[in-house]
């Protein structure tokens, strides 16, 4: 009888769960995840807002004390948000499902088959549109009348049952939103093993082959041997593991910065609306209604009742330049990033003027970002192998680190498609 090879996947987010699901069966898969089981944040937000005046909310990094699945890293300019726990950042996503493989197609990568499979596995619809709140409908009309061609954004999940509660980034209390725990459940149901609370520190490499992972379980160190290792610790997590393993990567970090332009409009109730119901696409950025919880709790300019704030997000495709290492994150916004943000702010103000809000009554949020990637970008050379030459032959990456540039758009579907392909390549090469 031939022995089944052992594969270890690091991370259980979009890339990790998808690749684990692809590999299980052909390999004996273990998923190593730093975080624990995901639990949504359940407190009443309007009631919690009463504490704002107490001065208890002074730094965004506190969030993880109340809500361990959300982690924050800060640079001087940007608050970086990511998920930690089963499902990674997908559990705190807003569920947007858009195919964005243009930059990969330009490298000669065709992911049609993978996207077709995703279409069969994940329910995707814009059903939420039927129950938008009046303020959302009005914003959509204003954008349409300005010739901005807004479109309702498709979402992953069963949106006919969406309660429009506005808690998407805190974990959906109604089980409407799809997240990558479903791929994880499918893999574990077929025998994959999930190790929670285990932080991978480095890959142990000998004679050009990845032999094992070094992990930390609390204070204990452990070594996990494997025939195949796939890193999917996210755009900020994977580079750190590469660095500790002595593998070079590129300083091409992008993060897709987000800035909200807000104003007071009584009774808008956009804090109780689905996040990002529709989108307006512009050259290099998008605009979408978004009640920014981080700004609401931590930015003094947002000291108004949640239900009275109307807010539009600008999400930018930023210059892919920056880095993360054990010394911290180096990421600044360049003049072209600021210029696009300014363009976005002007357009948001024009949209809000359609609600009768003068420009001088608008206020800005805190710049934050949640789509990191780009530090081990694919090139034409790797368009078939999906394997970077800096990596040992049996070590792969399956997350946003592989993107050649920022998508400036929600990346989950494209990360899943890439991870599925990495899984297929690994099956064909090793299983």
Ligand X SMILES: Cc1cc2nc3c(=O)[nH]c(=O)nc-3n(C[C@H](O)[C@H](O)[C@H](O)COP(=O)(O)OP(=O)(O)OC[C@H]3O[C@@H](n4cnc5c(N)ncnc54)[C@H](O)[C@@H]3O)c2cc1C
> What whole-number distance in Å separates Cα of residue 177 and Cα of residue 237?
24
Q: Is 241 in the site for ligand X (CB under 6 A)?
A: yes
Choose between 133 and 331: whose C-beta lies nearer to ligand SF4: 133
Q: Is 304 left (phi over 0), alpha (psi -120 to 50) or beta?
A: beta
Cβ-based neighbours of 152, under 8 Å, separated by 6 or more: 126, 128, 129, 140, 277, 278
Q: Is 93 in the site for ligand X (CB under 6 A)?
A: yes
Binding pattern for the stretch 236-275 against ligand SF4, x by CB under 6 A and - elsewhere: --------------------------------------x-
Among 7, 8, 13, 229, binds ligand X (CB under 6 A): 13
Q: Is 355 in the site for ligand SF4 (CB under 6 A)?
A: no
Choose between 95 and 411: whose C-beta lies nearer to ligand SF4: 95
**Nearest approach, Cβ of residue 177 and ligand SF4 (Å):** 4
Choose between 114 and 129: whose C-beta lies nearer to ligand SF4: 129
Choose between 165 and 185: whose C-beta lies nearer to ligand SF4: 165
Q: Is 260 in the site for ligand X (CB under 6 A)?
A: no
**In the range 81-100, which residues lie near ligand SF4 by CB under 6 A?**
95
Among 71, 86, 133, 167, binds ligand SF4 (CB under 6 A): 167
Q: What is the DSSP secondary structure assignment for residue 257, as one 8-state letter?
A: E
Tell me the three state secondary structure of residue 28: strand
Tell how strand 79-83 and strand 285-289 pair up: unpaired
Choose between 189 and 217: whose C-beta lies nearer to ligand X: 217
Tokens, residue 241: 């593991």
Picked from ligand X, ligand SF4, none, the partner binding residue 90 (CB below 5 to 8 A depending on kind) is ligand X
Q: Is 26 in the site for ligand X (CB under 6 A)?
A: no
Q: Is 172 in the site for ligand SF4 (CB under 6 A)?
A: yes
**Nearest approach, Cβ of residue 122 and ligand X (Å):** 11
Q: Is 34 in the site for ligand X (CB under 6 A)?
A: yes
**Nearest approach, Cβ of residue 398 and ligand X (Å):** 8
Phi, psi of 194 (to 5 degrees): -115, 120
**In the range 394-413, which residues lie near ligand X by CB under 6 A?**
399-400, 410-412
Binding pattern for the stretch 200-219 against ligand X, x by CB under 6 A and - elsewhere: x-------------------
Q: What is the dihedral of CA 69, 72, 73, 78, to 10 degrees?
A: 140
In sequence order, what are the beta bridge partners of 209?
Answer: 206
Q: What is the DSSP secondary structure assignment for residue 127, as one 8-state letter?
A: G
**Nearest approach, Cβ of residue 303 and ligand SF4 (Å):** 24
> What whole-number distance in Å separates Cα of residue 37 and Cα of residue 233?
16
In sequence order, what are the beta bridge partners of 289?
Answer: 312
Burial 168-201 (b: 16+ CB within 10 A, else e): bbbbbeeebbbbbbbbbeebbeeebebbeebbbe
Picked from ligand SF4, ligand X, none, the partner binding residue 177 (CB below 5 to 8 A depending on kind) is ligand SF4
Give how far Cα 223 sits from Cα of 35, 199, 214, 217, 426, Å.
18, 11, 5, 11, 22
- Alpha-carbon torsion (223, 228, 234, 239), positive or negative: positive
Binding site for ligand X (CB under 6 A): 10-16, 32-35, 81-85, 88-90, 92-96, 169, 199-200, 232-235, 237, 241, 370-371, 399-400, 410-412, 415
Binding site for ligand SF4 (CB under 6 A): 95, 162-168, 172, 174, 176-177, 274
């Amino acid at each position: 009888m031939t022995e089944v090879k052992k594969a270890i996947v690091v991370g259980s987010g979009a890339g990790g769960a998808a690749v684990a699901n692809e590999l299980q069966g052909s390999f004996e898969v273990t998923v190593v995840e730093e975080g624990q089981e995901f639990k949504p944040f359940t407190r009443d937000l309007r009631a919690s807002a009463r504490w704002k005046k107490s001065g208890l909310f002074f730094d965004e990094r506190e969030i993880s004390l109340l809500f361990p699945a959300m982690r924050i890293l800060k640079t001087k300019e940007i608050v970086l948000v990511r998920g930690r726990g089963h499902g990674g950042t997908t559990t705190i996503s807003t569920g947007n499902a858009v195919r964005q493989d243009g930059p990969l197609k330009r490298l000669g990568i065709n992911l049609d088959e993978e996207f077709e499979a995703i279409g069969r596995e994940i329910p995707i619809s814009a059903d939420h549109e039927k129950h938008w709140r009046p303020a959302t409908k009005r914003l959509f009309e204003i954008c349409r009348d300005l010739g901005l061609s807004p479109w309702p954004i498709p979402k992953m999940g069963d949106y006919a049952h969406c309660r429009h509660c506005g808690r998407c980034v805190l974990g959906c209390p109604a089980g409407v939103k799809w997240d990558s725990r479903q791929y994880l459940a499918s893999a574990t149901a077929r025998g994959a093993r999930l190790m929670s609370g285990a932080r991978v520190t480095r890959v142990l490499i000998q004679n050009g082959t990845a032999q094992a992972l070094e992990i930390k379980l609390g204070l204990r160190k452990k070594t996990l041997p494997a025939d195949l290792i796939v890193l999917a610790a996210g755009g900020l997590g994977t580079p750190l593991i590469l660095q500790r393993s002595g593998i070079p990567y590129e300083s091409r970090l992008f993060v897709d910065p987000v800035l909200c332009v807000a104003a007071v409009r009584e009774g808008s109730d956009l804090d109780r609306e689905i996040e990002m119901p529709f989108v307006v696409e512009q050259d290099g950025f998008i605009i979408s209604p978004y009640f920014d919880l981080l700004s609401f709790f931590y930015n003094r300019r947002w000291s108004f009742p949640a239900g009275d704030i109307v807010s539009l997000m600008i999400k930018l495709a930023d210059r892919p330049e920056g880095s993360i290492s054990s010394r911290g994150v180096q990421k600044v916004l360049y003049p072209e990033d600021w210029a696009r943000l300014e363009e976005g702010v002007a357009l948001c103000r024009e949209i809000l003027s359609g609600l009768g809000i003068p420009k001088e009554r608008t206020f800005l949020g805190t710049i934050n970002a949640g789509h990191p990637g780009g530090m081990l970008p694919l090139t034409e050379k790797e368009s078939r192998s999906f394997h970077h030459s800096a990596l040992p032959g049996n070590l792969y990456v399956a997350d946003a680190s592989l993107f050649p540039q920022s998508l400036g758009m929600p990346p989950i579907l494209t990360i899943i498609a890439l991870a599925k392909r990495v899984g297929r390549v690994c099956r064909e090469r090793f299983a």
